[in-house]
Structure 1
Amino acid sequence: MAREKYTYAQQVCIKSAGKTMQHTGMLYPGARIGVAVSGGMDSWVLLQVLRIRQRIVPFPFEIMALHVNPGFDPENHAPLLPWLERNGVAAHIEVTDHGPRAHSPENRRNSACFYCAWLRRKRLFELCAQYRLSHLAFGHNADDLVGTFLMNLYQNGRVDGMSMKEAFFGGRLQVIRPLLMVEKSDIARAVRQWGLPVWSNPCPSAGATRRSEVMDDFQRLCRENKGMKRNVFNGLCRWQMDLTPKAD
């Protein structure tokens, strides 16, 4: 059987995830990974990359797609179903009311995005326990790392990033981010080249958050300062690498 050929952007995603997984020792034989699939390009590329890594790593691990629909459009995850069946990926899919609740009077103290994300994360943790999953994988990328760092610095006066691997519940669950060193631009190219069925985000707050404003400001500075974006990305990625203990 001929080896599958990958484009440059696809290789960046696959190899970077492999480097991160190897450096941190994210996985082990028999690991059971729940992949948080939102329908956006990051989670789609993560799901595809983990399928490919299954054929590369020298031990078996399982993946399961977890989709928690926030409830703005109960049908917009329809493209996920045939893809899962075609590729033999197990899944749990459910429609919730997280989004409308986050935008209702019930949520008086937090931003809509914070509350919706908190509800989603709580439900994902419950699903991991229900299906006895050892890992929960998110598609956060290098742009998210930059945004989180700047938000923590601006909003909280704290120098903090986003972990590649983090233990929860006494180590029973590992939250992992295999794409944390991949730039959004490479993910955007890879998702188009793989033809993954991304669907739009119907949330009324999409693109209108404080995080979006911070990243817009950062991108504006990068356009005015050649090499700034690359330096910031490289510096923060090296920092997170150094913070994460290297696997034996």
Structure 2
Amino acid sequence: MTDSTLSEVEKKQQYNFNKLAKRLRHNVGDAINHFNMIEEGDKVMVCLSGGKDSYTMLDILLGLQKSAPINFSIVAVNLDQKQPGFPEDILPAYLTGIGVEHRIIEEDTYSIVTRVIEEGKTTCSLCSRLRRGILYRVAEEIGATKIALGHHRDDILSTLFLNMFYGGKLKGMPPKLVSDNGKHVVIRPLAYCKEKDIIRYADAREFPIIPCNLCGSQPNLQRQIIADMLRDWDKRFPGRLETMFTAMCNVVPSHLADPKRYDFANIKADGQPREDGDKAFDKEVFSDPARISIMDSRRPIQVEACGDA
């Protein structure tokens, strides 16, 4: 269909999608560059669950792979945990159709979890540990140098507040970190992407979404409370989520209270001015949230998110 045959409504829809796709590509490209997520010769294992986030991550990484000034390969990996009702044909058909190298791992963790966990109790913790161990093993088998997960900006903020409210820790979900077994580098290319953008993108691309509640586990009430809070803030105070995420990228240890992160015990007044010094007598001045950007004070990019949608 040519532009001349498109209706005005269709043209507007196409324009909006192109704009959305370009924004997501640049967000992913910026995250990759700022944290040096992907390097020359990397083999990236993209963990694909069948949800909107992992589909979007794979789709955008495949696009960036074509335009990036470095060479890296992608292997999509799905873990079929043998949950009742899991449509096992959807992901192989989709991945084969787009020509992506992939592996479908079949491990009956569902039976293990239902045998070990008392009925009515949440199964997520054990299920996650089993899944993590299997994916680490597969990463070694295929020689993956990076493991890519589909967590986005809102997931990272939710984790921050979950740890603050329920764990007593100022701890989020990092865009890049070594795995807990010390053998892999885990990356989150969607770290700068808003969930509402991902929802719109996945809807427009018509990915064959697989429901996330097949295991029948109870929803995480604490996480749901945090998610509802963030959505409410985003609706009532535009720009607040952006500002909060920016704060995670601009940490000032001297103005927190963790003696393990800052040597409060041994600081002395030496007469030298310091940028992070206390300004106890100054009135706090805060910026307009719309003018705060995570792009401030970042190092030069290495991988470009090139081209228009």
User: Smaller-chain TM-score range?
Assistant: 0.7 to 0.9
CA deviations on 1:42-64 (whole Å, 9 max, x unpaired) are 00001101100101111211111
**Mapped pair 1:16 → 2:27:** yes
**Mapped pair 1:175 → 2:186:** yes
Cα separation, 2, equivalents of 1:199 and 1:154: 31
SS of residue in 2 equivalent to 1:68: strand
Question: One-letter code of the match for 1:140?
Answer: H
Query: Residue 96 of structure 2 corresponds to which residue in structure 1?
Result: 85
Cα separation, 2, equivalents of 1:163 and 1:207: 23
Query: Residue 60 of structure 2 corresponds to which residue in structure 1?
Result: 49
Out of 203, 225, 228, the residue aligned to residue 192 of structure 1 is 203
Cα separation, 1, equivalents of 2:85 and 2:216: 15
1:221 deviation in Å?
4.6
Question: One-letter code of the match for 2:74?
Answer: I
**Mapped pair 1:147 → 2:158:** yes
1:23 deviation in Å?
1.2
Query: Residue 117 of structure 2 corresponds to which residue in structure 1?
Result: 107
Cα separation, 2, equivalents of 1:170 and 1:204: 29
Matches within 5 A, 1:52-63: 52-63=63-74
Query: Residue 97 of structure 1 corresponds to which residue in structure 2?
Result: 108
**Mapped pair 1:215 → 2:227:** yes
1:219 deviation in Å?
2.6
Cα separation, 1, equivalents of 2:231 and 2:217: 20
Query: Residue 37 of structure 1 corresponds to which residue in structure 2?
Result: 48
Look at both structures and tell me which one has the larger radius of gyration over its CA atoms: 2
Out of 192, 196, 217, the residue aligned to residue 205 of structure 1 is 217
Query: Residue 25 of structure 1 corresponds to which residue in structure 2?
Result: 36
SS of residue in 1 equivalent to 2:67: coil
Unaligned runs of 5+ in 1: none
Tell whether the 8 Å contact from 1:74 to 1:95 is kept in structure 2 after alignment: no
Over aligned residue pairs, what C-alpha RMSD do you find?
Answer: 2.7
Cα separation, 1, equivalents of 2:299 and 2:116: 43
**Mapped pair 1:166 → 2:191:** no
Call closer, same or farther: CA 1:31–1:226 in 2, change over 3 Å. closer
Cα separation, 2, equivalents of 1:154 and 1:105: 32
Number of residues paired by the alignment? 239
1:234 deviation in Å?
3.6
Cα separation, 2, equivalents of 1:226 and 1:61: 37
Tell whether the 8 Å contact from 1:134 to 1:172 is kept in structure 2 after alignment: no
TM-score, L = length of structure 2: 0.69
